[in-house]
Amino acid sequence: MSKKNQKLEARNLNAYYGSFHALKDINIAMEEKAVTAFIGPSGCGKSTFLRTLNRMNDYIDGFRVEGDILLDGRDIYTKDVRVDELRKQVGMVFQKPNPFPKTVFENVVYGLKIQGIKDKKTLNEIAETSLRKTALWEEVKDKLDKSALALSGGQQQRLCIARALAISPSVILMDEPTSALDPISTAKIEELLYELKEDYTIVIVTHNMQQAGRVSDQTAFFYMGELIEFAKTKTMFTSPKHERTQNYITGRFG
Amino acid sequence: MRIQERIIEGLLWLSAAITILVTAGIIWVLLSESLTFFSEVSIIDFLTDKQWTPLFADKHFGILPLVAGTMLTTAIAIAVALPIGLTIAIYLNTYAPAGFRATIKPMLEILASIPTVVYGFFALTVVTPFLQSFIPNLAGFNSLSAGMVMGIMIIPMISSLSEDAISAVPKSLREGAYGMGATKFQTAFGVLVPAASSGILVSIILAISRAVGETMLVAIAAGQQPRLTANPLVPIETITTYIVQVSLGDVPHGSLEYRTIFAAGITLFIFTFALNNISFWIRKKYQEKYD
């Protein structure tokens, strides 16, 4: 594998919820067009870290960060960065499918519409492309004007991924995207990740060790707010450097 | 022990029964008195005649002028309360820091605890003269001033219930919108308000119902001249004001004139009863179901 660019980087990152020190001195660089998995026991800070990457925690009272997060070498926490612009580049898929209570079509084109794109042809084209990328087109092409809430959980989650893809971000953050889904839907989404990393940088938080092993190129293990180990997934799963990592991935705790 | 239980149970039953009995009694009086009224005045005249002059020599019993007066003040009130109330709700929910929200919400509810007679006074002695300074032909009693002050009065109803409805929208939807690069404004109007629309609609209907039934404020500030008009600058009379006027006046009990207030009362009752049921129905039927 050729050496890839570093797409996202955290330098000396600390994060706090009030007085609680949630992330301690995180240094990490994530490769472009690859899948990076964050693993670790509940409360270890992996989701918090993921949500600092698109500043989703900005709205939480008492949350603050110190240190830098660089996207393509530019700090995303400086004053001149507009969060809404940042999130157009760094899309997000959540743990529970959260389609808007609108039609399937309106969901996919939501991000385009709020950017002021009204041209029907453009919207139709992007909707179709995005739904095809998530292998949802064949399933929903006759239900585009039906409520998105009528789709199955797995379909809803793929719709949320399609919705994120529609505004062509370069990074997609996924916060345990399959934890609320059945095994078949999970497999579909994992397959999808494999294709998506051709074009996108993907960061995924997962509780599922096998999933991290299957889908990711790099894995980061968090514990108690610290980044314990970060390595190529193969390396980490075959010969972890730290005992804690080994204990966690072999299921001895967590 | 067992006896005590039975006594308590009996008392509880009694208090429930009294409530129902009183309600039934009110409806029965309204119905029976109006039936007597409608045996003397045709219901068609009542609903179509454009004049309401039961206390004059030339008697007309058309309820339309009173209904129009009520609708006019209500419409003005909602036109004031809805935009302001909804803006406050969205501001409190999406923009205001948590600490500010915690102080401002109870303060808004103080608005609701001011006696309505004070609002009436305020409309008559402050708002009307103020408006007259740039609307010279505004009458001393008018629906504009009464309606506007009534709007202020019902702001807390709309803002508080709408804020509750917006807060009840799951966090995941809000984050979904933010995650797509939506601004707070786009999230509030494009996602949160539509998702909370049933709750917001209920708050509006309850506010309308409150405005329709409001008595003291309009009795003081809107006038006592039944008039079929949409002109907000002239004195009008609402259904409630008419009932007050006759109840306090020297109309002999048992006369036809006296019974007009029951006919007016049952009209009012039908309005508010229908509105409350519509809101109940909306709440049941359209509440978005999220798990």
Q: What pLDDT does B284 receive? A: 85
Length of chain A: 254
**Is the Cβ pair A88, B181 closer than 8 Å?**
yes
Q: Which stretches of B44-133 are assigned E, i.e. beta strand?
A: none
B37 vs B32: CA distance, rounded Å: 9
Q: Which stretches of chain A are assigned E, i.e. beta strand?
A: 6-17, 20-31, 35-39, 63-71, 74-75, 90-93, 171-175, 201-205, 218-223, 226-232
Nearest chain A residue (CA) to B182: A84
Q: What pLDDT does A254 receive? A: 52
Please determine, for residue B30, whether its predicted confidence score (pLDDT) is greater than 70: yes
For residue B280, CA distances in Å to A227, B99, B273, B286 come to 53, 32, 11, 10
Rounded to two decimals, the pTM is 0.84
Listed in sequence order, the residues at least 6 apart from B141 whose beta carbon sits closer than 8 Å to its beta carbon are: B124, B128, B221, B222, B223, B224, B225, B235
Q: What pLDDT does A1 receive? A: 45
Q: What pLDDT does A126 receive? A: 96
Q: What pLDDT does B108 receive? A: 87
Nearest chain B residue (CA) to A55: B179
Q: What would the pLDDT profile of B224-277 be if each residue is shown by its tens digit?
A: 999 999 999 999 999 999 999 999 888 898 899 999 999 999 999 999 999 999
Tokens of B64: 């339309």
Q: What pLDDT does A251 receive? A: 79
Nearest chain B residue (CA) to A160: B176
Residue in B172, B181, B186 closest to A98 by CB = B172
SS3 A221: strand
Average pLDDT, chain A: 93
Phi, psi of A29 (to 5 degrees): -130, 125
Phi, psi of B134 (to 5 degrees): -125, 0
For residue B29, CA distances in Å to B16, B20, B24, B33, B273 come to 20, 14, 9, 6, 16
Specify the pairing of strand A218-223 against strand A226-232. antiparallel
Interface of A with B (CB under 8 A): 54, 56, 59, 61, 83-88, 91-92, 94, 96, 98-102, 110-111, 114-115, 160, 163-164, 167
Q: What pLDDT does B291 receive? A: 44
Average pLDDT, chain B: 93
